Structure 1
């Protein structure tokens, strides 16, 4: 494996993960220094993150998963992913631990970073565009995950930014897995992508969409979801 591919995978995945950390820092700054993001825009960002996650499901994760495994297996792993994260969401809410949006972020980021690592040695331009799209998704998702944890109480609020700082390192590890372990059409990678897609879709309907409308903020938040999906659409047009 050429050193250039390894360094490129580390750089691209690290920068795309850093966008999530930056989103959390913006959320912290907005809360602690001056609240420059008002309620309509804040809810628009939440909806944008939800739209970006749906775009990742429909345009990246599910198509990749269906292409690399039998349809029955893709449907099965998708449904199992939803069931697993329904159970996890129930357990976390019982313990009053609000990290649903952080889980959704990681479920989106990890398989996409694996795919990034898997394709970088074959289609470098595709890997670069994928990194840009991942970063565009991670920024609002990081903001949303921080806000959810911060609203969950002092304990989770204190951990919000430190937890988000691990995102670049998670991305680097996932990209290395893609580079050294998986091929882009690997059956096990396809199963991972559809499992994660099922988990993400459950969390979007359970946590993100309701939160984007929990205040009377007019019509803007719903359009934020459309803008978020557009990020996935542009990424699909560039790399699909």
Structure 2
């Protein structure tokens, strides 16, 4: 069990660090990404997350405990991610900056965004760690999707810090560090989820609630905001269909 929890921790850490750092690296190297491509990618991630949530996380939560413990976990997941979202914003601002704004203001924005991302990554890591207790494939899939979710967040922080005058090397360090708490969260999720069936039920419900908040508050709106034509809905629906097919193959 200890070895498995350590494996979960490493994968969660890679998901967080690579997700935010790749967003930072992309800004450093290319500055911009085609909005249409990002729309499809975010929509696809949202669709797969929806499929995993309703076909794996929530049913498994009910099976391990009860409908009551599953609902408590879901509410906790929604509530904690929602609280952090309202009190520690981490991505909801424009990528277009006015050159007349003082660099120090943009520097502060970038650093605050990095802190916000880090705080969000802890409970999101718990969701990943708990998902691994359903099965390894679901955990890995969720880790990859969370890395994709963190990509535009890393871009947002890196863009602000770049305008604020921070060196590229430091931008990469800061965006990478913002992903570290996801590894810590994955460790806690894997550890606590293995304590008892009730704890696992609550943890899986928590993961489901957290995923639903992320999907409908961030991924779906961001996908539509960047959409060209029907790119958002194409990405979302294809993600759901492929997610269902993937889960069906696992069983």
Confirm or deny a common fold (TM above 0.5).
Answer: yes
Alignment of 1:1-240 (within 5 A): 5-11=1-7, 13-15=9-11, 17-35=13-31, 37-93=33-89, 107-116=123-132, 118=133, 126-127=135-136, 129-150=137-158, 153-154=160-161, 158=171, 159-178=174-193, 181-183=194-196, 186-230=197-241, 232-240=243-251
Offset of residue 106 of structure 1:
5.2
CA deviations over 1:157-195 (Å, ceiling 9, x no partner): 9543211144345434533444xx424xx1122122223
Q: Which runs of 5+ in 2 are unaligned?
A: 91-108, 165-169
- What's the RMSD between the two structures over aligned residues? 3.6
- Change beyond 3 A, Cα 1:213–1:104: farther
88 and 11 in structure 1: CA distance in 2 versus 1, 3 angstrom threshold: closer
Check 1:143–1:177 CA distance in 2 against 1; reply closer, same or farther (3 A cut). Answer: same
| Per-residue Cα deviation, 1:89-134 (whole angstroms, up to 9, x for no partner) | 222349x865887777654542342353x46xxxxxx43x234323
Quick one: distance in 1 between partners of 2:26 and 2:57? Answer: 32
Distance (Å, rounded) in 2 between the aligned partners of 1:104 and 1:232: 24
Gaps of 5+ in 1: 120-125
Aligned-residue offset at 1:44: 1.9
CA distance in 1, matches of 2:50, 2:121: 12
- How far has the Cα of 1:41 moved from its partner? 0.6
1:71 Cα deviation from its structure 2 partner: 1.9
Question: Cα–Cα, structure 1 residues 65 and 19, in superposed 2: closer, same or farther, change >3 Å?
Answer: same
Q: State the Cα distance separating 1:202 from its structure 2 match.
A: 2.7
When residues 227 and 142 of structure 1 are mapped into structure 2, their CA distance, relative to the original with a 3 A threshold, is farther
Contact 1:46 1:208 in 2 (8 A): yes
The size of the alignment, in residue pairs, is 222
Alpha-carbon offset, residue 229 of structure 1:
3.3
Counterpart-to-counterpart distance in 2, 1:209 and 1:67: 29
CA contact (8 A) 2:81 2:213 kept: yes
Closer, same or farther: CA 37–101 of 1 in aligned 2, 3 Å: same
| Alpha-carbon distance change, 54 to 87 in structure 1, aligned in 2, over 3 angstroms | same
Calculate the TM-score normalised by the size of structure 2.
0.69
